[in-house]
Amino acid sequence: MTLLELKNVSVHYGRIEAIHDMSFSVEEGEIVSLIGANGAGKTTTMKTISGLLNPSRGSLTFDGQEITKMKAHIRVVKGISQAPEGRGIFPGMTVMENLDMGAFGRKDRSGMGADFERVFTLFPRLAERKTQIGGTMSGGEQQMLAIGRALMSAPRLLLLDEPSMGLAPQFIKQIFTIITEINQQGTTILLVEQNANQALARAHRAFVLETGTITHSGTGKELLANPAIKEAYLGVG
């Protein structure tokens, strides 16, 4: 079933067109990856889906309902949650307080205990640091907290924007293993990531963005094997 669909979406910053006539879909249960160079429009796409930016043209549909003009906080309630680029945790709050903020819009407060348990099972380090102030944690730990906070809204679609940015190699491998586990537990994932090898290896399907336009699409394996993609994004000539 199609969970998210973008149709002919364009987004402008003033006179500058950051996304041009973009169309793609995300099926329920998938990991879909967006890859591309800096400035290709990846983060703009994510912000448009989460409701932080409004498209100048086109439409967005989530679970069969048009959400093009829906406010960002309502999209969270509907089931779209984002762990943003740069993590965006509340640095002066504890781990538990950050996770509580992720569940702010929930009406089923009785189900929160199970989701806390899920987050602490996925990220045992967070369980060990429940009372630690978020801003004193390492980059990898803050990324875990950002993803955990997003999961506390019980999303059907999890948007992950550059989850490996600035992380040490051991954390990168761990984060991508957990992303796969989250998906296997039933959460659909849209992933923006500059580590194209990891992003494509985990993806059911993927799209390549260049200057706001989709130029290639296919399964993760197909794009990993594409000579043009190898040369441009995988460091293989």
Q: State residue 112's pLDDT score.
A: 86
Q: What is the pLDDT of residues 123-143, one digit of tens each?
A: 999 999 999 999 999 988 999
CA–CA distance from 110 to each of 75, 81, 96, 114, 115 (Å)? 21, 20, 17, 9, 10
Q: What is the pLDDT of residues 111-127, one digit of tens each?
A: 788 999 999 999 999 99
pLDDT tops 80 at residue 31 = yes
- Alpha-carbon dihedral angle through residues 60, 61, 62, 66, given to the nearest 10 degrees: 100
Q: Is 127 helix (H, G, I), strand (E, B) or coil?
A: helix
**Banded pLDDT at 59 (limits 50, 70, 90):** very high
Q: Across all residues in the chain, what is the average pLDDT?
A: 93
Q: What is the pLDDT of residues 70-88, one digit of tens each?
A: 999 999 999 999 998 877 8
Q: Which residues contact 154 (CB under 8 A, 6 or more apart)?
A: 79, 103, 106, 108, 111, 115
| 215 conformational bin, left if phi > 0, alpha if psi -120 to 50, beta if neither | alpha
DSSP, residue by residue, 144-161: HHHHHHHHTT--SEEEEE
Q: What is the pLDDT of residues 164-221, one digit of tens each?
A: 888 888 888 889 999 999 999 999 999 999 889 999 999 999 999 999 999 999 999 9
pLDDT tops 80 at residue 163 = yes
pLDDT tops 50 at residue 237 = no
Q: State residue 169's pLDDT score.
A: 85
Q: Which domains does the chain have, with CATH numbers?
A: 2-90+154-233 (3.40.50.300)
DSSP 8-state assignment for residue 165: T
Mean pLDDT of 13-22: 96
DSSP 8-state assignment for residue 71: -
Q: State residue 235's pLDDT score.
A: 66
Q: State residue 236's pLDDT score.
A: 56
C-alpha closest to that of 75 among 51, 43, 59? 51
Rounded distance, CA 137 to CA 195, Å? 23
CA angle 134, 184, 107 (to 5 degrees): 55
What percent of the chain lies above the pLDDT cut of 90? 82
Q: State residue 165's pLDDT score.
A: 86
Q: State residue 65's pLDDT score.
A: 97
CA–CA distance from 216 to each of 26, 31, 207 (Å)? 16, 17, 6
The answer to whether residues 23 and 6 touch, using CB atoms and an 8 Å cutoff, is yes
For residue 133, the Cα-to-chain-centroid distance in whole angstroms is 24
